[in-house]
């Protein structure tokens, strides 16, 4: 049975907010069903309500992890919105490189890795175009989903994923074909070596991550309550080096959430710079 009562939905919504900070809101039963019904066969559970109740207990950690994975997995694409990556090359990298050669970036909630690898490709293109010597880029991608992290680390993508925002010349430059007739391609080692990936919940302490020059957290805050957004943004401020940059999604804003950043209008786009 795939029915989902209002009571079970409310319990699950509260559970998801506590575990991940994600706010489902009202009348999103359709989203829960579409994400979790495939798990019923995998875990041999006949009722969706039973699957949800079991996932909220601590008895079946595998199911709990699979449910959180399913609910926190979001679609992504290469070079999303384009302007953040253009700003790296045109504004942010030159500014940082005037002071130091090492640049550390964080791709928060990196999903299946397209953002982190897009940053890596941008970095390699910049180094080649500007003939920059000694530039050291370190990109850390984090996500709450272990399934997504495995995809990130493997760096292999099918034809559908490769068609979303990735130009043919970049495919030739930065990918190798997987010779199994599937059309899949894998990120080249020189791109991979700029990146590392780890499991991380944005609700946890950021102390173990170190300091960053640039943080990407795009199209993620929209899923959180205002209080959680504010907490995350203030933690981002604490994780940035002086003068560091925060890059959000095109529809996201800091208004009323934190006073630790200055908004920098660019052409195109907006970024946020940590106040000195």
Question: How many other C-beta atoms are found inside a 10 Å radius of the C-beta of residue 250?
Answer: 13
Residues 192 and 257 occupy one common structural domain: yes
Residue 111 covered by a domain: yes
Residue 172 covered by a domain: no
- Where does the pLDDT of residue 54 fall: very low under 50, low under 70, confident under 90, or very high at 90 and above? very high
Total domain count, the chain: 2
Q: How many whole angstroms from its chain centre is CA 105?
A: 12
Q: What is the rounded average pLDDT of the residues 103-131?
A: 94
Residues 41 and 130 occupy one common structural domain: no
Residues 11 and 105 occupy one common structural domain: no
Cα 106 to Cα 39, 52, 115, 165, 202: the distances in Å are 31, 32, 10, 21, 12
CATH number of residue 60's parent domain:
1.10.155
Q: Write down which residue in 37, 72, 107 finishes a domain.
A: 72
3-39 pLDDT, tens digit each: 788 899 999 999 998 888 788 888 889 889 998 999 9
Q: What is the pTM of this model?
A: 0.87
- Block residue for tokens 């700003």: 87
Helices and strands (H, E) in the chain, number of each type:
12, 10
Whether the bond between 268 and the residue before it is cis, its omega within 30 degrees of 0, is yes
H/E element holding 247?
A: strand 240-248
**In angstroms, rounded to a whole number, what is the distance separating the alpha carbons of residues 195 and 153?**
9
Residues 241 and 198 occupy one common structural domain: yes
Residue of 132, 67, 137 lying closest to 102 (CA atoms): 137
Residues 23 and 53 occupy one common structural domain: yes
Helices (H), the chain: 6-20, 29-42, 48-55, 61-72, 83-87, 93-97, 114-130, 146-154, 159-162, 168-174, 189-192, 226-239
Q: Write down which residue in 72, 95, 123 finishes a domain.
A: 72
Residues 212 and 240 occupy one common structural domain: yes
Residue 78 covered by a domain: no
**What local confidence, expressed as pLDDT, does residue 59 receive?**
80
**In angstroms, rounded to a whole number, what is the distance separating the alpha carbons of residues 39 and 63?**
8
Residue 261 covered by a domain: yes
Residues 68 and 104 occupy one common structural domain: no
CATH number of residue 239's parent domain:
3.40.50.150
**Domain range spanning residue 251?**
83-155+188-274
DSSP reduced 3-state for 270:
strand
Residue 58 pLDDT exceeds 80: no
Residues 270 and 193 occupy one common structural domain: yes
**In angstroms, rounded to a whole number, what is the distance separating the alpha carbons of residues 50 and 33?**
13
Residues 65 and 202 occupy one common structural domain: no
**In angstroms, rounded to a whole number, what is the distance separating the alpha carbons of residues 92 and 90?**
7
Residue 168 covered by a domain: no
**What local confidence, expressed as pLDDT, does residue 55 receive?**
92
Residue 165 covered by a domain: no
Residues 198 and 256 occupy one common structural domain: yes
264-273 pLDDT, tens digit each: 999 888 999 9
**What local confidence, expressed as pLDDT, does residue 83 receive?**
94
Q: Write down which residue in 14, 38, 72 finishes a domain.
A: 72
């Amino acid at each position: 049975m795939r029915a989902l009562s209002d009571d079970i939905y409310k319990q699950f919504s509260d559970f998801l907010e506590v575990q991940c900070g994600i706010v489902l809101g009202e009348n999103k039963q359709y989203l829960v069903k579409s994400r979790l019904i495939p798990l019923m066969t995998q875990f041999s559970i006949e009722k969706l309500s039973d699957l949800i109740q079991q996932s909220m207990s601590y008895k079946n950690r595998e199911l709990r992890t699979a449910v959180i994975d399913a609910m926190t997995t979001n679609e992504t694409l290469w070079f999303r919105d384009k302007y953040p990556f253009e700003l790296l090359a045109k504004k942010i990298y030159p500014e940082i490189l005037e002071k130091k050669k090492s640049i550390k970036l964080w791709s928060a909630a990196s999903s299946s890795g397209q953002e982190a690898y897009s940053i890596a490709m941008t970095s390699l293109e910049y180094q080649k175009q500007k003939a920059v010597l000694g530039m050291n880029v370190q990109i850390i991608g984090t996500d709450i989903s272990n399934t997504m992290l495995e995809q990130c680390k493997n760096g292999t993508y099918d034809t559908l994923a490769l068609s979303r925002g990735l130009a043919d010349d970049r495919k030739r430059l930065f990918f190798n074909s997987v010779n199994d007739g599937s059309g899949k391609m894998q990120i080249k080692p020189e791109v991979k070596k700029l990146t590392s990936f780890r499991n991380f919940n944005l609700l946890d302490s950021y102390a173990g991550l170190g300091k960053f020059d640039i943080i990407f957290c795009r199209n993620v805050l929209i899923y959180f309550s205002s209080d959680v957004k504010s907490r995350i943004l203030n933690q981002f401020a604490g994780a940035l080096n002086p003068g560091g940059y925060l890059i959000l999604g095109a529809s996201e804003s800091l208004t009323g959430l934190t006073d630790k950043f200055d908004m920098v209008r660019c052409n195109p786009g907006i970024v946020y710079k940590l106040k000195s």
